[in-house]
Amino acid sequence: MKIRIKFLKQGSMKFIGHLDMMRYFQKVMRRADVKIRYSEGFSPHQIMSFAAPLGVGITSNGEYLDIEVTETESSAVMTNRLNQVMVDEIRVLSYKKLEDSSKNAMSIVAAADYTLTFRERYKPEDLDGFFEKLRGFYDQNQILIVKKTKKGQKDMDLKPLIYDLARKGDAVFMKVSTGSTDNIKPELVMESFYEGQGWEYPGFTFQIQREEVYGRDGAEGRLIPLEQYGEDIE
Amino acid sequence: MRKLALPDEILLSIQQPARYIGGEVNMCVKDPKDVAIRFAMCFPDVYEIGMSHLGIQILYDMFNRREDTYCERVYSPWTDLDKIMREHKIPLFALESQDPIKDFDFLGITLQYEMCYTNVLQILDLSRIPLHSSERGEDDPVVIGGGPCAYNPEPLAEFFDLFYIGEGETVYDRLLDVYLDNKKQGKSRFEFLKKAAGIPGIYVPAFYDVTYKEDGTIKTFLPNNLCAPEKVTKELVVTLDDAPYIEKPLVPFLKVTQDRVVLEIQRGCIRGCRFCQAGNVYRPLREHGLDYLKHYAKKLIETTGHDEISLSSLSSSDYTYLPELVNYLIDECSAKGVNISLPSLRIDAFSLDVMSKVQDVKKSSLTFAPEAGSQRLRDVINKGLTEEVILKGAAMAFHGGWNRVKLYFMLGLPTEQREDMEGIALLSEKIAETYYDEIPKDQRHGKVQIVASSSFFVPKPFTPFQWAKMCTKEEFLERAYIVKNKFREMKNFKSLKYNWHEADVTVLEGVLARGDRRVCAVVEAAYNNGALFDSWSEYFDNSLWMRAFESCGIAPDFYTVRERGLDEIFPWDFIDAGVSKEFLKREWLLAMKEEVTPNCRQRCSGCGARGFGGGVCYEDKN
Ligand code: SF4
């Protein structure tokens, strides 16, 4: 049976790297006595995969991992059982059953939402002016950047990969293309904006938080939060 | 969000920020305002090493059971952060509360190996605690040292307020009670040290004076304060099952060296190898009961979620209920996808059978530790492993499908001759021949691979070899070349590999192991010259130490290559570690006569440890 787990990663846990998060969850599964399936072979490993790795330093309200289990209790019971053996700053938000035929989270990731909050000393004095300019930046028909690749440099248009860029209180909100083909990091968008204004972009300007990760509906092309692919177990 | 001592800008610009944030699974959380005693427990090395140490976890758990105490952890900041902390004047902090160490009541530092001594000074320095005990004031934490190196605390004597000699589980409670009492009465630090000196196992260096003879050896070593006893007796847990074990060990996020459940099955050793400090100072052997271990094995796997459990002891094969325990673990673990690792097993039919069940034979290797290349020298060191046993074990293993063998030796042992050195190559060759003789061509899984490694011998306090002369660096390397050249002559040369340890660092370890109080100045000078993380070969810089010896006017040779007289007073003689000096002397003389001593289960040799009233000394005698 396939299960999708949504969790948050907050506070000091942002310093835990992706590989360590994987090891963390492997241990969580054993502590919570989740009947997870193991691969065959002499040193079996748990069947577990993460949707989209989160960079060190970024917090998140919407992380996903898929597992396979041989049996399970209800979503409520399992969520509770997992949270009992977790640290405070990593919490399971939902535990849902997927269709047996469904693709794993990693392969369907299409977009993600981010909130970028100014670190106090990098906050512009004229916030309204800042967001005015940001609007102007997003309203362009094309946002060309030079992307460094393994082979060299290439021009790339960011515009079609930014699905939303807006003000949210004092913070920046954005919805950008994510996944294996066009993976846009929020930092890349902001760098391009600052550069366009002729400003320097200091490395620690924003505390970035991922809010949600989406897949794309085949027929209409609509973005769907990954957890909505699953169903609660009663 | 939990408070962090370091800002994001720093944490995101150094390696492995997870080393410094705490917050691990099973971390103890208390409000510092609610406790009377704040204890910072330190392992003076990088997080991944320090977090792997079982002893600290046991003490952490034990201290935190006290409602009036909050025990937190601190490790050596790695070189990248060390530099930043100095530049930005950031004081060293504890992982749990992220508060400065300077605000604590105690700083306890475990001393597991000599090469961590400059890191001890780093910890004090970054905490802004005066390096010298004599310079500390009422507001500074009380600095305590413990662990195996506390069996000769003298090279660090000036930096510690007190040392705890022996196993930590016994009198710490009393020490903390005395501290609280003293604090409540509004009495001074000095008053506390005086009271502490009266607790068994506690050594307060400031209360002892040392005088030296003209030849540099010790003339007298005597208390200068009535509160301090002439002899400090090591503390020990007589009945292991009575001592607390951890129920919920910390589970780090980072991959640490021991990323597994560690189950201590026994303490001490019956074998009496003459070079081994642990085997002597942890006497007598005491075992855990089978039910106790079964209970904790299950519990610890549940509370940590680790995918591996490892048994810990000096010689697991001597554990009385080993077959029962291992079979239980195999049943319990296989269902949960948990691996079992069994270090320090003697190779025989039983262990091979067990190993074939718990590991992939094709990927694993057999380990033998003959320690010396010839039977003569193995008799000198009292290592009861014969060539016949090794070859028989190897043959059995080859039939079982193994074809990789690791061999551990020491070079520079007392009385070592050319034949003993060459014996390392000869024994390795015989093992290779055994493979080709025993296993028909069509059944071999490729070539046999034999890796022989030698470390250089360092005489340690409280061993029969504490009188021994150590080799110089040149002698060590010369010996390694003799072995290497002999390997070249072997018929199966291509199946054999030989490597050896570094010599510089061994010589230094020799100085620190048997050093006296005068060596404190050298450690401090080396630290001031920039020595740090000396146990990491990429950071060890011998020239920093050589300059330190020179500037202090101290000759390292005095501590290493000098022949010690049988009646010399050693810097550590004030400690009663159970094994008597008489016994050690007897053993030293027997070694010179190439005579072996039976193990504790064959015949008691009257080492002195019987006085503790338990363990193997009383087996079959109740
Ligand atoms: S007193 Fe005898 S039995 Fe006890 S540890 Fe010493 S030698 Fe072994």
Q: Clarify whether residues A123 and A138 are in a common domain.
A: yes
Determine, yes or no, domain membership for B331. yes
Check: CB of residue A177 under 8 Å from CB of residue A110. yes
| CATH number of the domain where residue A157 is located | 3.30.70
Determine, yes or no, domain membership for B592. yes
Q: Clarify whether residues B31 and B106 are in a common domain.
A: yes
Q: Residue A31: which pLDDT band, with cuts at 50, 70 and 90?
A: very high
| Res B335 pLDDT > 80 | no
Check residue B621 and give its pLDDT. Answer: 54
Determine, yes or no, domain membership for B132. yes
Q: Clarify whether residues B81 and B151 are in a common domain.
A: yes
Determine, yes or no, domain membership for B200. yes
Lowest mean pLDDT among A40-44, A101-105, B129-133, B162-166: A40-44
Check residue B265 and give its pLDDT. Answer: 95
Max intra-chain CA distance, chain B: 81
Q: Clarify whether residues A61 and A146 are in a common domain.
A: no
Number of structural domains found in chain B = 2
- Chain B residue with CA closest to A203: the answer is B9
State the average pLDDT over residues B369-386.
Answer: 94
Check: CB of residue A91 under 8 Å from CB of residue A11. no
| Minimum CA distance residue for ligand 1 atom 4 | B617
Q: Clarify whether residues B44 and B184 are in a common domain.
A: yes
**3-state SS class at B209:** strand
All residues at 6 or more sequence positions from B14 whose CB lies less than 8 Å from its CB, including other chains: B78, B80, B81, B84
Q: Clarify whether residues A38 and A132 are in a common domain.
A: no
Q: Is B284 in the pocket of ligand 1 (CB under 6 A)?
A: yes
Q: pLDDT tens digit string along B263-296? A: 999 999 999 999 999 999 999 999 999 999 999 9
Q: Tell me the sheet residues that pair with A224.
A: A215
Q: How far is the CA of B603 from the centre of ligand 1 (A)?
A: 8
Segments forming the whole domain that contains residue A67: 2-107+227-232
| CATH number of the domain where residue B47 is located | 3.40.50.280
Q: Clarify whether residues B223 and B249 are in a common domain.
A: no
* Contact criterion met (CB < 8 Å) for A87 and B25: yes
Q: Clarify whether residues A101 and A147 are in a common domain.
A: no
Q: Clarify whether residues A33 and A77 are in a common domain.
A: yes
Q: Clarify whether residues A116 and A87 are in a common domain.
A: no
Check residue B174 and give its pLDDT. Answer: 95
Q: Clarify whether residues A50 and A121 are in a common domain.
A: no
Check: CB of residue A99 under 8 Å from CB of residue A2. yes
Q: Clarify whether residues A72 and A151 are in a common domain.
A: no
Q: Clarify whether residues B178 and B127 are in a common domain.
A: yes
Of chain A, the end-to-end C-alpha distance in Å amounts to: 15
| CATH number of the domain where residue A69 is located | 3.30.70.580
Number of C-beta neighbours around residue B435 at 10 A: 22
Q: pLDDT tens digit string along A189-218? A: 999 999 999 999 998 999 999 999 999 987
Check residue B606 and give its pLDDT. Answer: 95
Lowest mean pLDDT among A98-107, B316-325, B356-365, B572-581: B356-365
Last residue of a domain, one of B187, B206, B233: B233
Number of structural domains found in chain A = 2
Q: Clarify whether residues B77 and B13 are in a common domain.
A: yes
Check: CB of residue A48 under 8 Å from CB of residue A31. no
| Minimum CA distance residue for ligand 1 atom 3 | B617
Q: What is the pTM of this model?
A: 0.95
Determine, yes or no, domain membership for B468. no
Higher pLDDT, B331 or B99: B99
State the average pLDDT over residues B146-166.
Answer: 97
Q: Clarify whether residues B74 and B95 are in a common domain.
A: yes
d(CA A108, CA B239): 59
Determine, yes or no, domain membership for B344. yes
Last residue of a domain, one of B215, B233, B251: B233
Q: Is B577 in the pocket of ligand 1 (CB under 6 A)?
A: no
Q: Residue B563: which pLDDT band, with cuts at 50, 70 and 90?
A: confident
Determine, yes or no, domain membership for B517. no
| Res B622 pLDDT > 50 | no
State the average pLDDT over residues B99-123.
Answer: 98
**3-state SS class at B13:** coil
Segments forming the whole domain that contains residue B217: 8-233
Q: Clarify whether residues B333 and B264 are in a common domain.
A: yes
Q: Clarify whether residues A144 and A85 are in a common domain.
A: no
Question: What are the helix (H) ranges across B441-562?
Answer: 473-489, 503-513, 519-529, 542-552
- CB contacts, 8 Å: B23 with chain A: 12-13, 87-89
Q: Clarify whether residues B20 and B123 are in a common domain.
A: yes
Q: Clarify whether residues B218 and B242 are in a common domain.
A: no
Check residue A68 and give its pLDDT. Answer: 97
Distance between A86 CA and the closest CA of chain B, angstroms: 7
Q: Clarify whether residues B224 and B245 are in a common domain.
A: no
Check residue B325 and give its pLDDT. Answer: 94
Mean pLDDT of chain B: 94
Q: Is B610 in the pocket of ligand 1 (CB under 6 A)?
A: yes
d(CA B148, CA B160): 15
Which atom belonging to ligand 1 lies closest to the Cα atom of B284? Answer: 5
Q: Clarify whether residues B211 and B73 are in a common domain.
A: yes
State the average pLDDT over residues A61-71.
Answer: 97
State the average pLDDT over residues B401-416.
Answer: 94
DSSP annotation of B619: T
Which atom belonging to ligand 1 lies closest to the Cα atom of B607? Answer: 6
- CB contacts, 8 Å: B355 with chain A: none
Q: Clarify whether residues A203 and A136 are in a common domain.
A: yes
Check residue A149 and give its pLDDT. Answer: 75
Last residue of a domain, one of B233, B257, B278: B233
**3-state SS class at B427:** helix
| CATH number of the domain where residue B316 is located | 3.30.750.210
Determine, yes or no, domain membership for B464. no
Q: Clarify whether residues A21 and A101 are in a common domain.
A: yes
State the average pLDDT over residues B538-550.
Answer: 97
Q: Which one of B69-83, B301-315, B322-336, B356-370 scores highest in mean pLDDT?
A: B69-83
State the average pLDDT over residues A93-118.
Answer: 95
Check residue B502 and give its pLDDT. Answer: 87
Within 13 A of B395's CA, how many CA atoms are on the CB side?
A: 12
Q: Clarify whether residues A131 and A33 are in a common domain.
A: no
Number of C-beta neighbours around residue B78 at 10 A: 19
Ligand 1 pocket check: which of B266, B273, B599, B604 to mutate, most ligand atoms within 8 Å of Cβ?
B604
Please give the radius of gyration of chain A, using alpha carbons only, rounded to the nearest integer.
20
- CB contacts, 8 Å: B26 with chain A: none
